[in-house]
Amino acid sequence: MVLAGQQAGVTAASNPQASGSKPVEIASLWPLPSAPEVAESAPRPGNASVAYATPAIQVVSFTGPSSQSASHRFWDGENSFLFALNAGAAAADFCVTRANLASGGQELNPVTRIMTGSTPALAANFALETGGVIGVSYLFHKTGHHKLERVTSMVNFSGSVAAVAYGTTHR
């Protein structure tokens, strides 16, 4: 049995370029029958998009959304906002870390601990952290992983906020 379904109207099914959509086919779910097993392979009158055969479903095709509708610009409003939040949280983390180190505290992050000898090195660490988040988000954006693109910024922001909260409560 061959089924054909569609998301868009009948005109989009007959002409996929009319709606800017690309047709998508889902491959065979079961092996195709041999020629003698096929009872009826011609479409029935009145419904030209469905053909009947004896075995189970073989192919389902539908018109999916175009790829441009799922895409967005990298520097859109949401990413710009998330990157600004990351930069602000990194700046706050730098200030709290520097104040704790000046009063005899210790850096808990082993990677950042290497940079605690000088203020410029510590500032560079937090600036590179922010740049790294933007770089990883851009990599996800270019590979089409748009949810991960945003989640990267959210996870880093959460970590910086947690570090600031811990640093201010354990002085």
Greater confidence (15 vs 128) lies with 128
Q: What are the residue ranges spanned by the domains of the chain?
A: 3-70, 77-169
Model confidence at 20: pLDDT above 60:
no
Query: Which residues make beta-bridge pairs with 51?
Result: 2, 43
| Sheet of strand 22-26, all strands in order from the earlier edge strand to the far edge | 3-4, 60-64, 22-26
Model confidence at 51: pLDDT above 50:
yes
Q: Is the pTM of this model over 0.85?
A: no
Q: What is the pLDDT of residue 8?
A: 47
- For residue range 130-164, what is the model confidence (pLDDT) as tens digits? 999 999 999 999 999 999 999 999 999 999 999 99
